[in-house]
Amino acid sequence: MSNFYDKLCPFYHLIFEDWDASIEKQGSQLSAIIESNWSQRQTVLDVSCGIGTQAIGLCKKGYRVTASDLSVNEIERAKQEAPKRGQTNILYSVCDMRTAFRHHGGNFDIVISCDNSIPHLLTDDDILSALQQMYFCLKPGGGCLITIRDYDREQHCGKNIVKPYGKAKIENGKRYVALQVWDFDEPNFQHYDFTLYMIEEDLNCKEVVTHAMHSRYYAIGSEKLIRLMQNAGFENVIRLDESFYQPVFIGTRPLT
């Protein structure tokens, strides 16, 4: 998993139509969800921060943010990107979310994992382990917020399923086209191999280079994720729609 993101790291911003606009929009959307559901909300832990999209966005909204990721390269880039956007107080480190409590301790108001990071964990036991670590990172009464792809509505069978990202991007004299290809396992179709192709064309010499990055996902449904969050100890676990670009799952650590 970390190898996939280490390779994706220099291109990560290119999968967004406008990365800075996404930082602002997602920060506002996540802040609205947090403010609507929890009274204590000063400190945020992002356990899958990538290059900092949500961490930077929430820091801009006034939260005190700690952020970690499994990818060394993404953490290094996040450390560079945040100060460019006026955010110098985010604490970044390398950490597997399955060891989040041992790494970060347990004094946060909110813990988040966005952008379909949880389904990189390929078994219920691994997901439960990560959720339990997130639970223990929270103060009593603290909130957990997770976003994943809406697998309830995705095709769960077949191979060579192509999912383009949209318009090509132009940057520094090069054109970039991104697309995904999914190959589901048979016969249960719960897991799929995932290849992200980044096609890079030099607009001057017309040379084309294709970067292929490989990973694997667990196409976990809403009911299963909600049940695992409940098993980890969270209460009032619900799915929220139309408040973010992916379904949002929230739960609260009980006060006692």
Q: In sequence order, what DSSP letters do the residues of 5-44 get, joined into one string?
A: HHHHGGGGGGGSSSHHHHHHHHHHHHHHHHHHH-S--SEE
Residue 194, phi then psi, degrees to nearest 5: -130, 125
Q: Could you read off the pLDDT of 54-95 as tens digits, one per residue?
A: 999 999 999 999 999 999 999 999 999 999 999 999 999 999
Domains belonging to the chain, first-starting first, are 1-151+221-253 (3.40.50.150), 161-218 (2.20.25)
pLDDT band at 9; cut points 50, 70, 90: very high
Task: Decide if pLDDT at 188 tops 90.
Answer: no
Q: In this predicted structure, what is the pLDDT of residue 107?
A: 93
Average pLDDT over residues 16-33: 97
Q: In this predicted structure, what is the pLDDT of residue 256?
A: 85
Of how many residues is the chain composed?
256
Average pLDDT of the chain is 97
140: preceding bond cis by omega (within 30 degrees) = no
Task: Decide if pLDDT at 219 tops 70.
Answer: yes
pLDDT band at 35; cut points 50, 70, 90: very high
Q: Could you read off the pLDDT of 117-152 as tens digits, one per residue?
A: 999 999 999 999 999 999 999 999 999 999 999 999
Task: Decide if pLDDT at 176 tops 70.
Answer: yes
pLDDT band at 40; cut points 50, 70, 90: confident
Largest CA distance in the chain: 65
Q: How far apart are CA 222 and CA 227, in angstroms?
A: 9
pTM value? 0.96
Instruction: Kindly calculate the radius of gyration of the chain based on its CA atoms and give it in whole angstroms.
Output: 18
Q: In this predicted structure, what is the pLDDT of residue 126?
A: 98
Q: In this predicted structure, what is the pLDDT of residue 1?
A: 67
